Amino acid sequence: MNKVAWITGAGKGLGRHVAMQFAEKGWRVVVSARTASDLYTLQSDCQAMSGEIIPCAADISDESRMAALVETIERDIGPLDLAVLNAGTYIRFGAEDFTVEKFRDQIDTNVMGTVNCLAPVVEAMKPRRQGRIAIVSSLTAYRGLPMASAYGASKAALTNMGEALRPELEQLGITLSIVHPGFVRTPLTDKNEFPMPFLMEPDTAARRIVQGLERGKFEITMPRRFAYLLKIGRCLPYRLYFAITRRMIGS
């Protein structure tokens, strides 16, 4: 039987390319996103592959919908072998337009939206004592960056959650990975008007994710040079770190 994967945020960008690579490997891939037309375009583009793309429009902010979707996958398609929880968004704002609403929207989507997917997936995998889960965080989780107070906080929360859950889920037979991508060319990053160092193409980033999952790695980072620089940044004292970040905002 073909293995079954569920990939959220698969309509565009990184999620779309991850779905394509698993379909090319013969997996049955349930793809979800808010825009149904993107999913059907993906399905059409993958028709010649050995696997199968199964579109399912859904919003990760809907807790009951996510639980129902996992139940439907398990019942009608097959037991989930893998879930890639990729859906999320980036709302760029700084201190001048900092509001409760903007911050809450970012946290609700990126953190609670992921949790809405994660909880039913874990419940489905526990009885079988097997399965893999990947949570897509970001290299911004390593340290606070200007104009990304909410985004970085949301991704840091995902990374911290993954670090906490990894050993606990291992005892249940479930492997959890955290993905830390840098800048990947997507419709979201296409809107950025600032320099994006080490910008990666989505198919290259997706290949790194698939390879990392196949190896059972906990942390999957890309591009490596950018990841190393940011990891070094975590060790800098605040005096030096803020000297760098002030330059990023032109002060």
Q: By the 8 A CB rule, do 7 and 31 touch? A: yes
Distance CA 70, CA 67 (A): 5
- Measured between its terminal Cα atoms, the distance across the chain in Å is 58
Beta bridge partners of 33: 57
For every residue of 92-110, DSSP letters joined together read -B-GGG--HHHHHHHHIII
For every residue of 183-225, DSSP letters joined together read -B-STTGGG--S--TT-B-HHHHHHHHHHHHHTT-SEEEESHH
Q: By the 8 A CB rule, do 206 and 18 touch? A: yes
Q: By the 8 A CB rule, do 207 and 120 touch? A: no
Distance CA 91, CA 155 (A): 13
Active site residues: 151
For the chain, count helices (H), then strands (E). Answer: 9, 7
Chain-centroid distance, C-alpha 27: 19
